[in-house]
């Protein structure tokens, strides 16, 4: 399962950040009404609140550059914990910002993976 978890995580992260960088409103399908997001110090729950938070972030353009994607199966393989590190280029800034983001992916009744938990934090060094 660990190799499978890593494959699922890698595919998910690529899809998530490509979608985030091009059209954040399209991320709605990755969350459920039971999903939770912590973005820096702000916490929201549910699809509508999460999408509202992500689409209201104060920047026009964003580019994620991932440095690492680590994954572990949890709950007997019914969920996957993912930790992503990387850098962000925001709008016209030339200096990237470092970030860490953790996801828990779970499966719904139809076997589709969704984001159950999402924690995003900028890393200041």
pLDDT digits (tens, 9 = 90+) for 12-53: 999 999 999 999 999 999 999 999 999 999 999 999 999 999
- Residue 1: count of CB within 10 angstroms of its CB: 11
What domains can be seen in the chain, in order of their start residue?
Answer: 2-123 (3.10.450.50)
The average pLDDT across 64-79 equals 93
Q: 61-99 in b/e burial notation, b at 16+ Cβ within 10 A?
A: eeebebeebebebeeeeebbbbebebebbeeeeeeeeeb
Cα–Cα–Cα angle for 60, 62, 64, rounded to 5 degrees:
170
pLDDT given at position 76: 82
pLDDT band at 2 (very low <50, low <70, confident <90, very high): low
- Six-digit token pair at 3? 């190799």
pLDDT given at position 1: 46
pLDDT given at position 82: 98
Q: Is the pTM of this model over 0.95?
A: no
pLDDT given at position 15: 97
| More confident: 96 or 125 | 96
pLDDT digits (tens, 9 = 90+) for 78-114: 899 999 999 999 988 888 999 999 999 999 989 899 9
Minimal CA–CA distance to 113: which of 74, 68, 78?
78
Instruction: Give the 3-state secondary structure of the chain.
Output: CHHHHHHHHHHHHHHHHHHHHHCHHHHHHHEEEEEEEEECCEEEECHHHHHHHHHCCCCCCEEEEEEEEEEEEEHHHCEEEEEEEEEEEECCCCCCEEEEEEEEEEECCCCCEEEEEEEEEEECC
């Amino acid at each position: 399962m660990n190799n499978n978890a890593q494959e699922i995580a890698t595919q998910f992260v690529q899809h998530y950040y490509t979608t985030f960088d091009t059209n954040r409103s399209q991320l709605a399908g990755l969350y459920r009404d039971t999903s939770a997001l912590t973005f820096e110090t702000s916490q929201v729950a549910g699809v509508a609140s999460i999408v509202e938070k992500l689409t209201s972030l104060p920047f026009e353009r964003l580019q994620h550059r991932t440095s690492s994607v680590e994954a572990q199966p949890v709950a007997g393989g019914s969920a996957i914990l993912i930790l992503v590190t990387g850098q962000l280029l925001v709008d016209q800034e030339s200096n990237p910002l470092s970030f860490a983001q953790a996801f828990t992916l779970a499966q719904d009744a139809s076997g589709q993976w969704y984001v159950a938990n999402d924690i995003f934090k900028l890393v200041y060094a």
